[in-house]
Amino acid sequence: MSAAMLEIMAIAVVTAAGCAVVGTFLMLRRLAMLADAISHAILPGIVVAFFLTGNLSSPWLAIAAAATGVLTVALVEALTRTRRLREDAAMGLVFPALFSLGIVLIARQAGNVHLDVDAVLLGELAFAPFDRFAPGGVDLGPRHLWLMGGISLLDLLLVLVFYKELKLATFDPGLAASLGLAPVAIHYGLMTMVSLTAVGAFDAVGIVLVVALMVGPPAAAYLLTDRLGALLGLAVLLGTVAAALGLALATWLDASIAGCMAVGVGFVFLVVYLVAPGRGLLAELRRRRRQRWSFAEIMLTIHLLQHAGQPEEDDEARIDHLHGKHVGWTPDFTRTVVAGAVRRGLVVREGERLRLTDSGRVTAGRALSGSA
C-alpha cells in the first residue's frame, strides 16, 4: 500500500470513528435522521466560510458549519414547538432550505474562488494527501487527517468526560433536569459535535453519505450488545471496519470512495444483522424453528389427552391419523414431531399407536391451563 493510500485509509478510519461516537447517541435519542438534516444544512456555513478563507480544510469551515448545524436544530425545534407541524416535517422543511441556499451560493460563487459541487456532495478523499499540514516547512501529513483526527478525538474525549451526564440526559431527561444536570445544554452540546463531525466527515464521504457513517455502525452494534459502553466501542470498531472495507472496494473497483464506504457500512450492517447472536436473523429463525417443533409436540400431547378414554381413542392415537383428516400434518412433519416427542418422553410408541406418558399428560395439562 502506498503512503498516500495509507494516509487516505487513516482519514477514512478516524472519520468513521468520530461519526460512530456521536451517531450512537443520535440513535439512542431517536434522532438518527437529524444526522442527515444537519449534514445537509451545514452546507451554507461551509460555503460562506470557504468564500472567506479560500481553503476547504480551514478550521473556520468547521466553526461556521457547527454554528449552522446548531441553527438547524434550533429552527427545527422552534417549528415543532408551534405545534403546527411535527418534527419530521419540520426537518423536511429546514434542511432543504439551508442546503439549497448553499447550492445557490456555490453556483453564484464570487471571483476566482472555486468550490466544486461534486466535491462537497460526494467528498474528495482521493485528493486529501495533496493538501499537507507543514508548519515551518516540516511535513506532518495531510491537513485533513489532523482536522478530522482532532474532531474525532474531541468527540471521544467529550463523551468520556460527560459520559454519565450524556447517559442520563438520553435515558431520562426529566430526571436529569430535576437533578440540575442541564439536559438541554447537553443536547445542544451533542448537536454541536454532530455538526463539527459532519463538516469534518464531508471531505471523506461527502454531505450525502455522512448519515451512513453516523447511523449504520451504531445500528449494527445495537444488535450485538445491551450495554452502552460496549455499544460505543463496537460502533467505533464496526465503523472503522466498514470504512476500511469500503476503501478497499473503491480501490479495487476504481469507484467513488464515498459510495463504496456507504456500501461498506451497509455490508457490515447486513452481516451483523444476519449473524448477531440473539438478535440476528439466523438466531431468530433458529428460535422460531425450535418454537414450531415444541409447539407441535405440545399440540400432539393435547390431541392425545383430549381423546384419551374416549371411544374413538384407538383411531385418534394412530400415527397415520395425525397426517390424515384431523390434524392435517404432512407425513414427514408427523414423523419428526413424533420422534421428538418420544425422545423427550412425552409419548411412547406402541406399534402404530401413541400413548401419552405421565410427563406428556403434565405438559398437555399445563398448556391447556395457559401456564406453559
Q: Which of 163, 281, 348, 352 binds other proteins (CB under 8 A)?
A: 163
Which grid coordinates are listed for 65? Answer: 458549519
Task: Say which residues have a Cβ less than 8 Å from residue 237's Cβ, sequence separation at least 6.
Answer: 221
Stretch of residues binding other proteins (CB under 8 A), selected from 64-72, 134-142, 159-167, 238-246: 159-167
Asked if residue 167 binds other proteins (CB under 8 A), the reply is yes
Q: Which stretch binds other proteins (CB under 8 A): 89-97, 119-127, 169-177, 209-217?
A: 169-177
Q: How far apart are the C-alpha atoms of 263 and 320, rounded to whole Å? A: 53
In the complex with other proteins, the residue whose CB is nearer, 158 or 271, is: 158
At 297, list the grid cell: 409436540
**Considering only CA atoms, which of 12, 15, 19 is closest in space to residue 218?**
19
Tell me the one-letter amino acid at 252: W
Q: Which residue, chain included where needed, has cell 511535513?
A: 139
Q: Pick the closer one to other proteins by CB: 28 or 245.
A: 28
The owner of cell 442541564 is 182
In Å, how far are 2, 161, 172, 185, 187 from 178, measured between CA atoms? 55, 21, 10, 14, 16
Considering the rule CB under 8 A, would residue 175 count as an interface residue with other proteins?
A: yes
- C-beta of 20 vs 347, nearer to other proteins: 20
- x/- contact string, 4-43, with other proteins (CB under 8 A)? ------------------------x-x-------------
- Max Cα distance, the chain (Å): 101
Expressed in angstroms, the distance from the first to the final Cα of the chain is 60
Q: Which residue has the cell 399440540?
A: 299
* Window 206 to 245, contacts with other proteins (CB under 8 A): 222, 225-228, 230-231
Q: Compare residues 181 and 302 and give the one whose CB is closer to other proteins.
A: 181
Q: Bridge partners of 132?
A: 142
What is the smallest separation between the CB atom of 171 and other proteins, expressed in angstroms? 5
Q: Which is nearer to other proteins, 41 or 221 (CB)?
A: 221
Using DSSP, state whether 353 is helix, strand or coil.
strand
Q: Give me 305's grid cell.
A: 389427552
Residue from 111, 135, 137, 180 that binds other proteins (CB under 8 A)?
180
Rule CB under 8 A: choose which of 85, 97, 117, 171 binds other proteins: 171
Asked whether position 181 contacts other proteins by CB under 8 A, the answer is yes
Q: Min. distance of Cβ 156 from other proteins in angstroms?
A: 16
> Which stretch, 171-179, 268-276, 311-319, 332-340, contacts other proteins (CB under 8 A)?
171-179
Residues 202 and 312: their CA atoms lie apart, in Å, by 75
Binding positions for other proteins, rule: CB under 8 A = 28, 30, 83, 161-165, 167-168, 170-172, 174-181, 222, 225-228, 230-231
